[in-house]
Each structure stands twice: as C-alpha cells, then as structure tokens.
A and B are shown apart, each in its own frame.
Chain A
Amino acid sequence: MSLLEVNNLNVRFKTNDGLVHAINHVSFSLDKAETLGVVGESGSGKSQTVLALMGLSANNALVSGSAKLDGKELIGIPTKELNQIRGNEISMIFQDPMTSLNPYVTIETQLCEPMMVHQHSTKAQARRHAIDMLDAVRIPDIANRIKLYPHELSGGMQQRVMVAMALMCKPRLLIADEPTTALDVTVQAQLLKLLQELQDEFKMATILITHDIAVVAGACDRVMVMYAGTTVESAQIHDLFANHYHPYTSGLMTATPRVDSAQTKLQEITGEPPDLSHLPAGCAFSPRCPRATDICSQQHPVLEDMHDQNLHYVACFHARETDNKETLNS
C-alpha cells in the first residue's frame, strides 16, 4: 500500500469574479521513501495541491476530494486532528526562507516547537535534538548560532534551518515547495544534494515542487507535470526523459537549457496560461498547443497509460500519434 493516496482532489476559490478553479481532479499516489517531482509554470496549481493536503489553503478555498496518509483521511478533518499530523508526520519546507521564518522568534524556539508540541518533550530534550538536526543539515558552529534570530543568518543557512525544523519529528512525508527558488545557484545545488542525502538517511517520502525540470531530473523517482490545475503527464523519471507525449511537457523540456544536447536555442512556450476562473471547455492547454484540433477545444482529455516499461500517464488526445519531442525539434 502506498503512503499517500490522493484521489480526485479539487480546490476552488470563491472570489468577487466568481469561482477560480485552482485544482481540478488531481489524483496521484506516493510510496514510502519515494520522491515525486511536481513540475509546472507558476499558477499551474502545484503549490495549491500540497497546501490543500496540509490544510493550509486560504480562507476562501473550497477543497473537495480525498487524500489519505496511510489510510487516514486528510481532507475535511477538524484542525485539531490535522494539527497532530502536520509538523509530525508530514512536514513542509517553503519557498522563501526569509519570510517563512518568524523574524521575532529565535531559531532555537522555532526549532524546538514541533517536538515540544507533538512529542511533549522538554525544552532541554528538544534543544539537544535541535542541535543534532542543525548538525545534520550542516550548519557550522551550531552551539553559538542557535540563539540567533533568522535575519542574522544568510538565505542558504535560513533554508537549512527550515529543513532542520521540518525534520525535527522525523516525518514520513516531506513536502518541499520550491525550496531553492529564492537561493543563489551554488547554494541551490548544495541544498538539493543535502535534501537527497537526508531523504536516504531518514527514509522518508518526498514531494518536491519546482518549476525547473532540471531539478527534477537529478532528484526525483517520479514526475508529475501540471498545467492549469490538472495533471497532464505523470511518469517515472527515466521514462519521461526518454519519451514525453504531452506537448506541454515537450515545451517545458525545450524551454530548459540542457548540457547534454547540441541544442543551442531555447524555445519558449508561446501564449499565456489560461484564466482559472474561465477555463476553456476542452483541454486547458489547447489555446497554446501547436497540435490542437477541434476535439481538443471541445472535450477534456483523460489520463491514459501509454504502456511504457512502467506506468506512464498522459492526458492528450494526440499522445499516441507521434513522438512529440521529435516533432517539436524538427
């Protein structure tokens, strides 16, 4: 049985301009110690998906569907029950460490909090564990730094503190929401490496959200590509890089610089992501799709298995016709 089972998740936002359909019928599952990469442009709903799992959606959100952690439902349960899970069994790292750490509280207090709340440990125990964790995320000179306030650390160090904080209770699932976006490139690489090592060490499943498909390539077992709140393609990492069927995935690939190919010019995906309060009747990508036909603007494509070596799901009417990668590159 898989660790996390998400079934038909929907998130809508009530606004003055009507309903915004942020997440539409998203389903996926995650095994123990597996890493899932979620890729997409900003606004594709990748962050909203995990926020919904954590019960962190905004006040005006309507969340429906099901998400089970080890068989226990997460969606729609009382905050009190949810509070026993988040920070304890599921932890989350956010995009911008500078605003995601409380500037008025010392990192010691912020680190100790999850353990004191979830395991009812004493401050001294929590502090000892916090120092171990800071050691694990390789923050030098920990003993002198634990009393500091977040702004007294660099961005990379702050994000390491965030990671240490997320690991305090040894969660079974770690969600990292664009953990490296706000950091320098060199620091990014260090942090990703650190995350991978920690994942092996702690044997936890990870959901890694990024808009950078190159990050996914190095760090994930499986990839889910999202567009306008829906899953458009989902596959093992090797399968995806070998064969990608959805034109949006192809677009993402060609828009990313690669060291291993002779390609010199990056291609952009033309057009804008759709307005989520007025989604097109058919495939959400059809207005930007080079291969769109009549059927694309009339009906929703459903996820279908492409029967590669492993399961490879694609939601496109034209998926079987040709190899998209070649089409686009030629």
Chain B
Amino acid sequence: MFSYILRRLGGVIPTLFAVVLISFLMVHMTPGDPFATERALPPEVLKQLHHQYHLDLPLWQQFLYYLDDLIHGNLGYSLKYQGQSINHLVFPTGSQGGFWVSVQLGTFSIIIAGIGGIILDIFSALTKDTLADFIDHVISVFCMLVISTPIVVTAPLSVLVFAVFLHWFPAGGWGTLSDLVLPVIILSLPYIAVITQIARSSLIEIMGSPFIRTAKAKGLSMPRLVWRHALKPAMMPVVSLLGPTVAGILTGSVVIERVFTIPGIGIQMVQGATNRDYNLVLALVIIYSLLVIVFNLLVDIIYAFLDPKIRY
C-alpha cells in the first residue's frame, strides 16, 4: 500500500510541473510589460523594478527563480496591490478569508453532494419497477432539471427566494452556520444530481447481479443486503467520479463566492482577472490545480483501498 502511494505520488509531480510550466509560459510569453499599465515610470525605476522581479533575465532563468520561490512557498508579488505578497492575500493572518474559506466551502459541498447523491440514488434505484415507482420518476426529473440549470442561475435565484422574499437565510457573508446553508446546497446541487444518476444505474446493475441473488438466498433482509453487499460495489463508479466533481465544485465556487460575497480565493481570482493582475491569477491557477491534483491522488488511493481486486 505504501509503495503504491509513493508510485502515485511520483506520477503527480510531472503533472504539477506541467501546470506550473504551461501557466508560467502563458503569462510570460504574452507581449507587454506588466508595469506598462501603471502610470508612466521613470526608466531607471522601471529598470530597478525589472531587476527586482528578475524580468531582465532570460525566460528559463525567470522560470527557475519562480519554481524556487514556489518550492519555498513564496507565491510572488501582486501587481495590482504594489508590493503586497500574494501569500498575504491568499493566507491572510488574523482575519477570516482566502484559501481556507474556499477549501471549507468546497469540502462541505463535496460532503453534501456525496451524501445527498447516495441517499437519493438508493431511493431511486430501489423504487424502480415497484409500487412506489413515482419516487424514481420524481428523482429522475429532478436530476435532469438540476443538471440543466447552471449555478449562475440557481445561486442568484436562491438569494431572491430564500433571502429577499422569505428571509430564511442571509443573502451573503461568511462565518455563521446559516451563512453556509444556501451556498453549500446550491454548489452541491448539480453534483447531487450527477452522483444520483451514476449511482442509480450502477446500483440497479448491482442489485441484479448474481452475488446479490446469493445474498438474497441466504435470507438477508433488504437493509442488510443494500448496506453490506450492494452499496460498496455500486459506489465504485461514484468514487472515480469524485475527481472531476472536485474540479467542478472548485470552478463553481468562484460563482458562489461572488454571489454570496464570501471572501475566498475565487473572488480574488475574478478581481485579479478584471485588474489584469497576472501574478495573482497565475498563483491562484497553480493553487487550484494543486487542490484538484491532490484530490485526484486521494481518490485513486481510496479507490485502490476499496477495491480488493487492485493490487498495490
């Protein structure tokens, strides 16, 4: 098991390197001076600045400097907020905000998406072709609707209904439990639907498999049958789906942070893009990619752990 994790870890490093290289090249091969947009600077100051940011060196040396900084946890300096370190923006001291807020939002959403999806899929799969067939139909229609409605629509709509009209939840902010409810539900909703759909068809397939027939022949009750015998194999496709789900939830969190004014790195990303703050956006792209890659690694390990047929 340990060597398996090590080997997977070895596979991650080239991907990570590729991410840094591609995004770095994208930024630095773009014509234009990062300081040209500021008010006209005297040539000697400009030269000084270029030297300070290693911009007077060849590209590959700049890249090595950047890589060295990254390895030491230094994300560089924001162009918009002169002299501000990006580390300070992403991991603010004292006040709440930045990276960990986004990670919290994402984590809660994944948990809700997983639990919600599994519960709905059990109801859906087990009521198919029975007297309670309508439950399956309702859930299927719900999934189709939710999947076709982008977060861009559901997020403001939920604010309009539950905050403006009904006053059940606050329209935005971060900190209390009630602040969490709307953003987390809205962000996880499409993935609840996706997981339900995938898990439903997989559970239906498993429930028809010979080993479930064997378990029935042993006289096991329905709950035990589902819980002990069907759920784990039926969840395997869902586990392998978690990687892309995380990428999607992180992407969606940018919209959610904007609509619900949550002070995460998604908002910084959008502001950086609007202000054309290359360095900030570059750093955030690398952070988001790192999150996705690390999570995909975790998913692979969990999958190998759950599937007895995979040898480490």
Enumerate chain A interface residues (CB-CB to B < 8 A): 54-56, 59-60, 79-80, 82-88, 91-92, 94, 96, 99-105, 109, 113-114, 117-118, 149, 151, 162, 165
Contact = CB atoms under 8 A, between A and B. Distances in A.
A56 B216 CA distance: 7
B229 A94 contact: no
A99 B218 contact: no
A149 B308 contact: yes
B7 interface: no
B219 A102 contact: no
B38 interface: no
Given A59-B129, A94-B210, A96-B210, A104 B232 contact: yes
Given A84-B219, A102-B229, 7 more contacts: A83-B220, A91-B218, A102-B233, A104-B233, A114-B219, A117-B221, A118-B219
B224 A87 contact: no
A85 B211 contact: no
Of A84, A85, A103, A162, the most chain B CB neighbours within 10 A belong to A103
Tier of interface size on chain B: 20 to 34
A105 B228 contact: yes
Contacts of B160: none
A117 B219 contact: yes
B interface, over-half SS: helix
A185 B307 CA distance: 31
A146 to B, nearest CB: 14
A234 B150 CA distance: 66
A86 to B, nearest CB: 4
B217 interface: yes
Interface string B215-241: 111111110100011001100000000
A109 B309 CA distance: 17
A99 B206 CA distance: 11
Contact of A103 (B219, B224, B309): B309
Interface in B112-143: 129-130
Nearest to B217: A92
A314 B227 CA distance: 48
A216 to B, nearest CB: 23
B211 A101 contact: yes
A114 B211 contact: no
Contacts of A59: 129-130
A88 B219 contact: yes
Nearest to B306: A104
A117 B214 contact: no
B218 A114 contact: yes
